[in-house]
Amino acid sequence: MTRDVHPRILIVEDEKDIVQVLEFALRQAGFETVSARDGGEAFARIREKAPDAVILDLMLPDISGTEICRQLKGNARTATVPVIMLTARSEEVDRVVGFELGADDYITKPFSVREVVLRVKAILRRGVAGEAPPREQVGPIRLDTEAHRVFVDSQEVDLTALEFRLLETFMARVGRVQTREQLLRDVWQMTGELQTRTVDTHVKRLREKLGSGRDLIETVRGLGYRMSDPAEK
Amino acid sequence: MTRDVHPRILIVEDEKDIVQVLEFALRQAGFETVSARDGGEAFARIREKAPDAVILDLMLPDISGTEICRQLKGNARTATVPVIMLTARSEEVDRVVGFELGADDYITKPFSVREVVLRVKAILRRGVAGEAPPREQVGPIRLDTEAHRVFVDSQEVDLTALEFRLLETFMARVGRVQTREQLLRDVWQMTGELQTRTVDTHVKRLREKLGSGRDLIETVRGLGYRMSDPAEK
DNA sequence: GGCATTTGTGACGGGAGCGTGACGCGAGTG
DNA sequence: CACTCGCGTCACGCTCCCGTCACAAATGCC
């Protein structure tokens, strides 16, 4: 893994059109791209030079994407390379499978190119970092997971279960941008396709309860939201 | 048991895929992992160095997981190591059996990796099922476990056996939210699928007897119930 | 500056979650 | 056998929360 100015993205996908579109968009966005039509090619490309991230179609001519993913994640040298799964079916089963295999993100077809680029950026930014437990204290906010209580300036504030989970998620990833899609996955468990605006509303409510004065949760236009520690600057 | 920065988790499971996936996820989450394919290997690993927790498949090639669990729990040196059972069948019978054997938690296949990681964290946090003994006094309530009596403001109240166990459970975990599922497990021993609303009813009765005025047992909407010490704030 | 896109915000309707009272059953007791 | 007591279940009603919408504000782009 090189991680220089132009991260190298490997696209494993047999449909030529899709590859072309993705390569164009990713290069536009400043990435270096390589592509493979099937599993064999994919491993060859990886052997040449490990990519910084892999976009992996679930359905491939020879071995399935799941198998590739499993092998990638099983190998110490490549286990840390983030994998984004492309899947045609949006059933929850497939997604879970994807995650059970260790994929780091997934996108269902049809997808917007814009979305893919955002996901790639997001995943490179956050690294493959596994779920860290939430920080207990960030700025004036203290979170007691066991008791399920939140204090701002040692003053308890009442949050609903959902708001609590949302805050928990932010505090587990302090300093990193969370896309609406990530939040929908982690907080809402993504059951049955939700409007993304739902996230906005709940961020608003959370902001209100945490004290609207200070902006503890920042908006990152075009991407999502972020909570940063005022101490780390 | 070492309990340093990276708790050691032993995975006993014969299916290689599952082992691989679990090892990856747990390592991501900051655990050290060891695995064993059968009972013999499992005991060998344990002899080398006792793990901080064991994830144990019920179905194994040589001796069954139940037998391993029984032996673990029967041995003084390993009795305190928490065991999480993996079971393919979700029938209640198996669960009970699991608990009768002394397993500390169980997960039914298919499971999400996320869930496994969460359970492992939870079980390490709370320590072995060897729960802390209940507090004697919380606010105005005094609990005499031996004599099986309860006093509120030094005024005795009589509780039924079930109510007593419920109160005991709350007082053993003061300040922590208890979900209905947890309560069903700990108080009701989860015999044969109970309605969760049963918990509500008994909490109501308990509240009544403890004096409905003060809210000694709080409702945490969407989650469960919590008893907190008014002194600790 | 004008336009398009993204985000903030207030309001609202439906529904989930919970408190509560009542009921029936079974076990124990006289 | 009649009575009591404890427990699990149910149904009703109420409150609060959540998802969505429509519109305002803000931001970015040409």
- CATH number for the domain whose boundaries are A137-227: 1.10.10.10
Q: Does A131 touch chain B (CB under 8 A)?
A: yes
Class of domain A8-126: alpha beta
More confident residue, B192 or A35: A35
What order of strands is seen across the sheet that includes strand B53-57? B32-36, B8-12, B53-57, B83-87, B105-108
The confidence score (pLDDT) of residue A101 equals 55
Q: Give B205 CA → C21 C1' in Å.
A: 12
Interface of A with B in 133-152 (CB under 8 A): 133, 146-148
Range of weakest confidence among A18-32, A73-87, A95-109: A95-109
Write out the two tokens for B140. 């105005």
Which chain A residue has the Cα nearest residue B26? A130
pLDDT at B93 over 70: no
Average pLDDT, integer, range A41-69: 80
Mean of pLDDT values over A163-183? 88
Is A94 a residue whose pLDDT tops 50? no
Residue B2: per-residue pLDDT:
36
Mean pLDDT to the nearest integer, A195-218? 89
Question: Which region among B26-40, B69-83, B138-152 has the lowest average model confidence (pLDDT)?
Answer: B69-83
Tokens encoding B65 = 């997981």
Cβ-defined contact of A99 to B114 (cutoff 8 Å): yes
Q: Which has more pLDDT, A189 or B155?
A: B155
Residue with tokens 């994830």, as numbered in its chain: B55
- Please give the pLDDT value at position B78: 74
Is pLDDT at A52 greater than 80 in this prediction?
Answer: yes
If you average pLDDT over residues A177-191, what whole number do you get?
81
- Candidates B131, B204, B200; CA nearest to B171 is B131
Please tell me which of A181-190, B8-17, B130-139, B164-173 the model is most confident about, judged by mean pLDDT: B164-173
pLDDT given for residue A158 in this prediction: 95
**DSSP state, A58?**
S
* Pick from A187, A180, A194, A184: nearest CA to A226: A180
Taking the CB of residue B128, how many other CB atoms lie within 10 A of it?
16
A185-204 residues near strand D (Cβ < 7 Å): 188, 194-195, 197-198, 201-202
**CB B105 within 8 Å of CB B119:** yes
Contact list in B for residue A128 (CB cut-off 8 A) is 28
> Residues of chain B with pLDDT > 90: what percent?
19
Q: Quick one: pLDDT at residue A192?
A: 52
Q: What is the DSSP string of B49-110?
A: S--SEEEEES--SSS-HHHHHHHHHHSTTTTTS-EEEEES---HHHHHHHHHTT-SEEEESS
Which of B6, B16, B112, B116 is the best mutation test for A, with the most CBs of A within 10 A? B112
Residue B60 is predicted with a pLDDT of: 72
User: Using a CB-CB distance cutoff of 8 angstroms, which residues of chain A are in contact with residue B138?
Assistant: none
Say whether residue B87 is in contact with chain A using an 8 A CB cutoff: no
Closest residue by C-alpha to C1' distance, nucleotide D27: A221
How far in angstroms lies nucleotide D9's C1' from the CA of residue A1?
Answer: 60
Please name the helix (run of DSSP H) or strand (run of DSSP E) that holds residue A56, with its range, or none: strand A53-57
The verdict on a CB contact (< 8 Å) between B175 and A147 is: yes
- Nearest residue, CB atoms, A131 vs list B17, B29, B221: B29
A193-200, long-range: CB < 8 A, 24+ apart: A193/A90, A199/A225
H or E stretch including A32?
A: strand A32-36
Q: Which residue has the higher pLDDT, B185 or B63?
A: B185
Residue B81 phi, psi (nearest 5):
-80, 120
- Residue A95: closest C-alpha in chain B: B112
Distance (Å) of CA A207 to CA A90, A102, A186, B38, B78: 32, 33, 19, 52, 48
| Most confident range, picked from A121-130, A132-141, A144-153, B103-112 | A144-153
pLDDT per residue over B125-147, tens digit each?
665 444 566 788 898 999 988 78
Q: At A182, which helix (H) or strand (E)?
A: helix A180-186
* pLDDT for position A38: 85
- pLDDT at residue B187 in the model: 85
Most confident residue range from A167-171, A222-226, B124-128? A167-171
What is the H or E stretch that residue B164 is in? helix B161-172
- pLDDT attached to residue B214: 75
Give the side-chain half-sphere CA count within 13 A for A224: 20
- Provide the percentage of residues in chain A whose pLDDT is more than 90: 19
A227 neighbors A217 (Cβ within 8 angstroms):
yes
**pLDDT at B108 (0 to 100):** 62
Flag whether pLDDT at B92 surpasses 70.
Answer: no
Instruction: Say yes or no: Cβ of B21 under 7 A from any atom of strand C.
Output: no
| Closest chain B residue to A186, measured at CA | B114
Which bases of chain C come closer than 7 Å to a protein CB?
6-11, 17-22
Whether nucleic acid strand C comes within 7 Å of the CB of A203, the answer is: yes
Tokens 């704030």 belong to residue: B233
DSSP letter assigned to residue A108: E
Residue B100 pLDDT grade (very low, low, confident, very high; cuts 50, 70, 90): low
Task: Strand D: list positions under 7 Å from protein Cβ.
Answer: 5-11, 16-22, 27-28
ipTM over 0.85: no
Q: What are the residue ranges spanned by the domains of chain A?
A: 8-126, 137-227
Could you tell me the distance in Å between the CA of residue A186 and the C1' of nucleotide D25?
A: 29
